[in-house]
Amino acid sequence: MKIDFTTESLDQLAVPALAVFSFDDDPAANGSVCHLPEATRALLGELEESGELTGKLYETTLIHHPAGLAQRLLLVIGAGKESKYSTAVLRRLAGVAVRYLRARGVHEVAWLVGPKTSDAESVQALTEGAVLADYDADTYRSERNSKKRIDNLRFATGGETVSDSARAAAERGRVIAEAQNFTRELVNEPSNRMTPEMLAERARKMAAEFGLACEVLDENEIQALKMGALWGVGQGSEAPPRLIVLRYNPSQSDSAQAPESAPLIAIVGKGITFDTGGISIKPAADMHEMKTDMAGGATMLGVMRAIAQLRPATRVMAVIPAAENMPSGKAYRPGDVLTSMSGKTIEVLNTDAEGRLALADAITYAKEQGAGVIIDAATLTGAVTVALGNGITGVFGWNKDWVNRVRASAEAVGDKMWELPVDEDYRDLYKSSIADLANTGGRHGGAITAAMFVGEFAGDTPWVHLDIAGTRWSNEEKPYLAKGPTGHPVRTLVHLLTHMQAQ
Cα angle, residue 267 at apex, residues 220 and 309 outer, rounded to 5°: 105
Note whether 2-173 and 194-502 share their fold.
Answer: no
Q: Mean pLDDT across the chain, nearest whole number? A: 96
- CATH class label, 2-173: alpha beta
Residue 326 has pLDDT above 80, yes or no: yes
381-407 mean pLDDT: 97
Cα-to-chain-centroid distance, residue 125? 14
User: Which 3 state secondary structure label does DSSP give 65?
Assistant: coil
DSSP result, 413-446: HT--EEE----GGGGGGG--SSSSEES---STTH
Q: Which amino acid makes up residue 437?
A: L
Distance (Å) of CA 74 to CA 7, 44, 85, 181, 472: 18, 10, 22, 28, 34
What's the CA gap between 415 and 226, in Å, rounded? Answer: 37
Distance (Å) of CA 453 to CA 53, 271, 304, 360, 380: 53, 18, 26, 8, 11
Q: In this structure, are residues 473 and 387 in contact, taking their beta carbons and an 8 Å threshold? A: no
* Structural Rg of the chain based on CA atoms: 24
Residue 364 has pLDDT above 90, yes or no: yes
pLDDT (tens digit per residue) in 107-128: 999 999 987 788 999 999 999 9
Residue 260 has pLDDT above 70, yes or no: no
pLDDT (tens digit per residue) in 437-450: 999 999 999 999 99
Q: Is there a catalytic annotation at residue 291?
A: no
Rounded to 5 degrees, φ, ψ at 489 are: -115, 55
36-63 mean pLDDT: 97
Beta carbons within 8 Å of 291's beta carbon, 6+ residues apart: 187, 189, 190, 191, 194, 273, 274
The predicted structure's pLDDT at residue 194: 98
Q: Is there a catalytic annotation at residue 81?
A: no
Share of the chain above pLDDT 90, in %: 94
Active-site choice (282, 344, 427, 478): 282
What's the CA gap between 293 and 289, in Å, rounded? Answer: 8
Give alpha helix (H) positions in 253-396: 295-310, 355-368, 383-388
According to DSSP, the β-strands at 73-78 and 17-22 are parallel
Active-site choice (356, 405, 407, 491): 356
Cα angle, residue 270 at apex, residues 267 and 271 outer, rounded to 5°: 115
The CATH number of the domain covering residues in 194-502: 3.40.630.10
- Report the predicted TM-score, pTM, of the whole model to 2 decimal places: 0.97
Residue 503 has pLDDT above 70, yes or no: no
Question: Where are the domains positioned within the chain?
Answer: 2-173, 194-502
pLDDT (tens digit per residue) in 262-309: 899 999 999 999 999 999 999 999 999 999 999 999 999 999 999 999
